Amino acid sequence: MANVVVVGAQWGDEGKGKIVDWLSERADVVARFQGGHNAGHTLVIGNSVYKLSLLPSGVVRGKLSVIGNGVVLDPWHLEAEIAKLGGQGVNITPDNLLIAENTSLILPLHGELDRAREGAVGVAKIGTTGRGIGPAYEDKVGRRAIRVADLADAATLETRVDRLLAHHDALRKGLGLDPIDRAGLIAALQAIAPKVLPFAAPVWKVLTEARRAGKRILFEGAQGALLDVDFGTYPYVTSSNTLAGQAATGVGLGPTAIDFVLGIVKAYTTRVGEGPFPAELFDEDGERLGTRGHEFGTVTGRKRRCGWFDAVLVRQTCATSGVSGIALTKLDVLDGFKTLKICVGYMLDGKQMDYLPTAANEQARCTPIYEEMEGWSESTAGARSWAQLPGAAIKYVRRIEELIQCPVALLSTSPERDDTILVTDPFAD
């Protein structure tokens, strides 16, 4: 059976929650493979709205949901999110949620370090959420992280804490922060351990067995390809690899486990925080996109920057993630625009570019080359077939396909799960 990876193909916030929810009905397992609780997913199911930032979207559909080793896990946030969903009638147990034993933990000290760095005078802000994601990944690659399995052994836990504090206390001193309370940290970890350990499992083994049994696995990514630590707009990126290739490593499967890569793409462009944004709008059109699209972060509430669709960036991310087809979302936000623009290239110091350069100063100097298209006055909201779309909207979608060199597999016309036009079935064998 086919296994599908879902990734954001812009700067995140593309509507992955709805698409994953739409696909999860046909999946047997939903696996989250990177990021932390800095990534928000909003699911609208009937009259209920679920806001997830750590748990895989499949949990609200009763699917076996997995948090892979590529994720960094805040155990206190996990407890709170499980309790919140419980209050909405979604019961999370080890029968429907598993956490990889080798998942690294986010501790309170990580968030403190994150916020202290962002607030340091004279240091350029990255625009992080301040939730400790970056520092937790630093400790992981620095081989001083505390992992889920460590919570089960007191002696190992103390050794891990000592190694961790040898690094962090020196950092904190330089930032004017007090040393970590070792005993308090160990006590807090021992207290949260019973809330986490029942979910711990060898996820790689569970998924391998599921695959051999012919189960369909849906791999869920967070953020977007342009926030990838290697291929994003560095340093204004997240701290993990957000591309589709990470799906295999982030859960403990090989690359042959991936059969279809679905890139989620908004019909315009947004980003949160600092960093280059060639097609950004500062006029009434930009305000209109933000207002109609309700462009505020699920996790932080920060207002998103808005701009026209950037075909250059999406073509680039489709290549780096090996996207098989895209899910185009929020087409209805463009309803009523008399004229639409698509960024088809950049000008950099008098030279035309067909990709975003790597150097930060060059990225900042890129200016967009626009192609104009006729808009439409009719509503696309709620359309469930091509026949229900205005001709100009269809032309817009087809032009996007040409420019990004990738077909549309799904078309989303509202936050409602069923307001989706299926072109290509990602789960088809």
What's the CATH number where 389 sits?
Answer: 3.90.170.10
Question: Which tokens hold the place of 82?
Answer: 């499980």
User: Is residue 23 one of the residues assigned to a domain?
Assistant: yes
The domain boundary residue, chosen from 237, 257, 277? 257
What does the pLDDT look like over 355-398, one tens digit per residue? 999 999 999 999 999 999 999 999 999 999 999 999 999 999 99
Number of H helices, E strands in the chain: 12, 20
140 noted as active-site residue: yes
User: Is residue 416 one of the residues assigned to a domain?
Assistant: yes
**Residues 409, 323 share a domain:** yes
Q: What CATH number is given to the structural domain containing 173?
A: 1.10.300.10
The annotation status of 298 as a binding-site residue, yes or no, is yes
Marked catalytic residue, from 37, 41, 63, 341:
41
User: Is residue 428 one of the residues assigned to a domain?
Assistant: no
- pLDDT the model gives residue 298: 61
The annotation status of 17 as a binding-site residue, yes or no, is yes
- The Cα 205–Cα 150 span in angstroms is 19
User: Is residue 386 one of the residues assigned to a domain?
Assistant: yes
**Residues 285, 246 share a domain:** no
pLDDT band at 199 (very low <50, low <70, confident <90, very high): very high
**Residues 163, 89 share a domain:** no
**Residues 296, 277 share a domain:** yes
Query: Cis bond leading into 202, ω under 30°?
Result: no
* 3-state SS string for 148-190: HHHHHCHHHHHHHHHHHHHHHHHHHHHCCCCCCCHHHHHHHHH
User: Is residue 40 one of the residues assigned to a domain?
Assistant: yes
Marked catalytic residue, from 37, 140, 168, 266:
140
Query: Cis bond leading into 108, ω under 30°?
Result: no
13 noted as active-site residue: yes
- The Cα 85–Cα 88 span in angstroms is 5
**Residues 354, 228 share a domain:** no
**Residues 336, 271 share a domain:** yes
Amino acid (one-letter) located at 395: K
The domain boundary residue, chosen from 145, 170, 196? 196
pLDDT > 70? residue 121: no
Q: Confirm if 347 and 367 have CB atoms less than 8 A apart.
A: yes
**Residues 236, 342 share a domain:** no
The annotation status of 39 as a binding-site residue, yes or no, is yes
- The Cα 29–Cα 207 span in angstroms is 8
User: Is residue 234 one of the residues assigned to a domain?
Assistant: yes
- The Cα 324–Cα 426 span in angstroms is 9
The annotation status of 412 as a binding-site residue, yes or no, is yes
Q: Confirm if 77 and 37 have CB atoms less than 8 A apart.
A: yes
- pLDDT the model gives residue 131: 87
The domain boundary residue, chosen from 196, 212, 233? 196
Give mean pLDDT, residues 393-414.
96
CB-count exposure of residue 280 (10 Å: 0-12, 13-18, 19+):
middle
**Residues 210, 149 share a domain:** no
Q: What CATH number is given to the structural domain containing 89?
A: 3.40.440.10
Q: Confirm if 226 and 11 have CB atoms less than 8 A apart.
A: yes
Question: Which tokens hold the place of 267?
Answer: 């019909």
**Residues 29, 115 share a domain:** no
Distance from the first to the final alpha carbon of the chain: 6
Q: How many domains does the chain have?
A: 3
**Residues 228, 85 share a domain:** yes
What pTM was computed for the model? 0.92
pLDDT > 90? residue 38: no
User: Is residue 429 one of the residues assigned to a domain?
Assistant: no
Which residues make beta-bridge pairs with 270? 306
- The Cα 397–Cα 23 span in angstroms is 21
The annotation status of 301 as a binding-site residue, yes or no, is yes
The annotation status of 103 as a binding-site residue, yes or no, is no
- The Cα 186–Cα 181 span in angstroms is 9
114 noted as active-site residue: no
Q: Which one is predicted more confidently, 17 or 195?
A: 195
**Residues 404, 416 share a domain:** yes
Q: Which one is predicted more confidently, 22 or 101?
A: 101
> What's the whole-number average pLDDT of the chain?
93
Give mean pLDDT, residues 93-115.
96
- The Cα 108–Cα 89 span in angstroms is 29
Q: Cα–Cα distances in Å, from 46 out to 71, 92, 294, 419?
A: 30, 20, 19, 12
pLDDT > 90? residue 10: yes
- 71 is in which domain, residue-wise? 4-101+200-257
What does the pLDDT look like over 272-315, one tens digit per residue? 888 999 999 999 999 999 999 888 766 667 789 999 999 999 99
pLDDT band at 124 (very low <50, low <70, confident <90, very high): low
- pLDDT the model gives residue 1: 63
**Residues 241, 117 share a domain:** no
- pLDDT the model gives residue 242: 96
The annotation status of 150 as a binding-site residue, yes or no, is no
- The Cα 155–Cα 282 span in angstroms is 56
pLDDT band at 346 (very low <50, low <70, confident <90, very high): very high
